[in-house]
Amino acid sequence: MKTYYHILKRIVNRLCLIFLLGCVFSCKKFIEVEAPITSVNSGNVYKENSNAAAVLTGIFAKMSSNGFSSDLSLYPELSSDNLNALQFSDSELSYAYYKNAMSSTFEASFWNKNYEYIYYANAALEGLSQSTTLDPDVKKRLLGEAHFIRGICYFYLTNFYGKVPLLVSTDYKVNAKLSNSSTEIIYQQIIQDLLLSQQMLDDKYVDATIIKETPNRVRPNRSAATAMLARVYLFTKEYSKAEIEASKVINQSSRYSIVGIDNTFLKNNQETIWALQPVNLGKDTQEGYFFNYPSEGPNSNNYAYLSSDLLESFDSGDLRKIKWISDMTIDGVTFFYPTKYKVRDGNASDPKEQSIVLRLAEQYLIRAEARIQQENIEGGVSDLNVLRTRATDFSAPVSERLKLLSAITSKQEALLTVERERRAELFTELGDRWINLKRTGSIDVVMTKAAISKGIIWAPFKAIYPIPNTEIRLNINIIQNPGYQ
């Protein structure tokens, strides 16, 4: 009996010592827990190819679900002279965009959503660059995608809100205090992101594995970065660079070409550079759902109609007016609405159309303008004619066909022609009219005229939207845009 207790005593003694010492040295290890199986710890996300890729896939899914492209195709177009809105009580925000009566108390969907994508992109950039376990090709490509997302989001943010805070990390302590950056600095960041993206992406379109090639053009590739870069150089007036980048895309004729007017918005056509895949059950694109009227006519979901100014701006015989615009007469009033996307109710599991964000036609417009700006008017005009050719109905009698542009001698006139062609080609697409009116400086002239039919008075400050008040309240370093203080 005595030995039994003796042994027990020794065991207990030692156990006790081990526990106490063990605690001192291993407590920290003991209480560091892994993330639950039902979610993934940020530290582990970027350890495996599939998880890391799922983050970028998630961002595209979120952008598509949140209406990244449809919002852009609607609200700034309402602000411009292209699109009008009927007033319904639940479309108050749209109506404010239309009446150029934005207020800092409105919900700022562009602000909130773009910064959300930027946060995701920043998180991905931080996680990816710290990771050492990913397949190098996958890592490079995902980094390229994240840079691309950040670049395009800042492009729209600065075009709508002017000077915005430039957040390039996920550290909320820093970010919550950042002040506005100048547009020059923001453009520098955009160009840097897009250059990196261009470098890191390749020409292939890949699926969610990031390795396998796919005909689906729903992940950005090198050309997407190049196309964005071309646009950004146009905005920063670096015309030779814009021409070079646009040419890089245009010259890939095996991958990209101008397709028939009926096919321009179909899924995976040769003109698409980058599109978002529809993800909402029972719908194809949100653009199609929004712009196409149901048989009963406009309602609180479908309240936008094209302005007569836009309708009148088309040359006669322009197929773009004929094929991309429809009309409906309700109670004796005729409403014209865009039908670039034809499917209103569809099936996201097997969509006919996808929300196209970048397409080749714009590259021709960019190059045309860049060439004209560099005094190559002839080259510019020939680019414009590529698009006019597509818009020509060759089955119609010659007199009723859209005319190709003849030689233009004046640069001024050529630039105006580009502006008209842009409008005809890219109306109700990604706010193109609004941001280009601002870029070319013609906004005040155009909007003063448009203000009359809108029943408002135009003021230059309205070209920039207000920063939401709630943001300024929480970050006193943010300065409100002029006119909204």
Partner 1 sequence: MKITTLLLIASIMQVSAISYAQKVTYSQKNITVEQLFREITKQTGYNVLYPDKEINTDRRIDVDFNDTFLDKVLTQVFKGLSISYKIENKNIIIKKEDPSFLERLAERWASIDVSGRVVDADGRGLPGASVSVKGKGGKAVSTGADGSFYLKGVDEDAMLVISFIGYVPKEVKAIKELGHVVLELSTSKLDEVQVIAYGTTTRRLSTSNISSIKADQIAAQPVSNPLLAMMGRVPGLQITQSTGIPGGSIKVRIQGQNSLQQGSEPFYVIDGVPYSSQTLFTNINGAVGGSQSALSFINPSDIESIDILKDADATAIYGSRAANGAILITTKKGKVGQTKIDLNIQNGFGKVTRKIGLMSTQQYIEMRLEALKNNNNTPVSSTDYDLNGAWDRNQNTDWQQELIGGTAHYTNIQTNLSGGNEQTQFLAGASYNRESTVFPGSYSDVKANVHVNINHTSSNQRFKFNLTNSYQQDLNKLPTIDLTGIALNLAPNSPYPFKPDGSVNWGIVNGVPTFTTNNPAAVLLQKFKGKTNNLISSSTISYEIFPGLQVKSNLGYNRLETQEVSTTPQTSFSPTLTRNNRKAKYGTNYVSSWIIEPQIAYNKDFSWGHLDALIGSTFQNSDNAVDAFDGSLFANDSQLENSRAAGTIVASTNTMQSKYRYSAIFGRLNYRFRDRYILNSAIRRDGSSRFGIENMFNTFYSVGGAWILSEEEYLKRSLSYINHLKLKVTYGTAGNDQINNYEFLSLYQSYTPNGVPYQSTVGLLPTKHSNPYLQWEVTKKLNFGLDLGVFNNRLLFSGNYAINRSSNQLTSYPLPVGTGFSGVLINLPATVQNTSWEFLLDASIVNHKAFSWQSSFNLTIPKNKLINYPDFENSAYYNTLIVGQSLGIKKLYQYAGVNPTTGYYEFNDHSGQKTSTVDPAIDKTQFVDFYPKFYGGLNNTLNFKNFSLDFLVQFVKQIGENYQFGSLLPGFANKNQPQSLLNRWHNISDISNVQQVTTSFDGFDPFNNVLESTAHYSDASFIRLKNLNLSYNLPPKLISKLHISKAKLFAQGQNLMTITNFVGLDPENQSTGSMPPLKIFSFGLQLTF
269-298 residues in contact with partner 1 (CB under 8 A) are: 277-281
- 174 versus 333: smaller Cβ distance to partner 1: 174
- 12 versus 396: smaller Cβ distance to partner 1: 12
Amino acid (one-letter) located at 187 = Y
The stretch near partner 1 (CB under 8 A) out of 16-24, 186-194, 419-427, 453-461 is 16-24
Of 144, 380, 431, 468, the one binding partner 1 (CB under 8 A) is 468
Q: Does 89 bind partner 1 (CB under 8 A)?
A: no
Assigned token pair, 71: 């919002």
Amino acid (one-letter) located at 442 = S
Nearest distance from C-beta of residue 474 to partner 1, angstroms? 5
Of 474, 479, 482, 483, the one binding partner 1 (CB under 8 A) is 474
Phi, psi of 355 (to 5 degrees): -75, 105
Q: How far apart are CA 148 and CA 239, in angstroms?
A: 21
Q: Does 93 bind partner 1 (CB under 8 A)?
A: no
Q: Name every residue whose Cβ is closer than 8 Å to that of residue 154 and which is 6 or more positions away in sequence.
A: 114, 118, 164, 166, 186, 189, 190, 193
Q: Does 42 bind partner 1 (CB under 8 A)?
A: yes
Assigned token pair, 26: 């291993």
Q: Does 35 bind partner 1 (CB under 8 A)?
A: yes
The stretch near partner 1 (CB under 8 A) out of 167-175, 288-296, 327-335, 414-422 is 167-175
Of 208, 328, 451, 456, the one binding partner 1 (CB under 8 A) is 208
> 10: exposed, middle or buried (C-beta count within 10 Å: 0-12, 13-18, 19+)?
exposed
Of 73, 94, 175, 392, the one binding partner 1 (CB under 8 A) is 175
The stretch near partner 1 (CB under 8 A) out of 51-59, 72-80, 296-304, 430-438 is 51-59
Nearest distance from C-beta of residue 293 to partner 1, angstroms? 23
Of 61, 86, 211, 328, the one binding partner 1 (CB under 8 A) is 61
Q: How far apart are CA 77 and CA 365, in angstroms?
A: 19
Assigned token pair, 316: 């006669």
Of 3, 90, 395, 473, the one binding partner 1 (CB under 8 A) is 473
Nearest distance from C-beta of residue 54 to partner 1, angstroms? 4
Q: Does 331 bind partner 1 (CB under 8 A)?
A: no
User: What is the DSSP code string of 299-339?
Assistant: -SSS-EEE-HHHHHHSPTT-HHHHHSEEEEEETTEEEEEE-
Q: How many CB atoms lie under 10 A from the CB of residue 284?
A: 25
Of 349, 395, 409, 485, the one binding partner 1 (CB under 8 A) is 349
Coil vs helix vs strand at 125: helix
Q: How many CB atoms lie under 10 A from the CB of residue 401?
A: 17
Q: Name every residue whose Cβ is closer than 8 Å to that of residue 261 and which is 6 or more positions away in sequence.
A: 319, 320, 323, 324, 390, 391
Q: Name every residue whose Cβ is closer than 8 Å to that of residue 206 and which is 6 or more positions away in sequence.
A: 141, 212, 213, 214, 219, 221
Of residues 101-160, those binding partner 1 (CB under 8 A): 111-112, 115-116, 118-120, 122-123
Of residues 217-246, those binding partner 1 (CB under 8 A): 218-219
Of 7, 30, 133, 413, the one binding partner 1 (CB under 8 A) is 30
Nearest distance from C-beta of residue 278 to partner 1, angstroms? 7
DSSP label of 260: P
Nearest distance from C-beta of residue 335 to partner 1, angstroms? 29
Of 3, 7, 25, 36, the one binding partner 1 (CB under 8 A) is 36
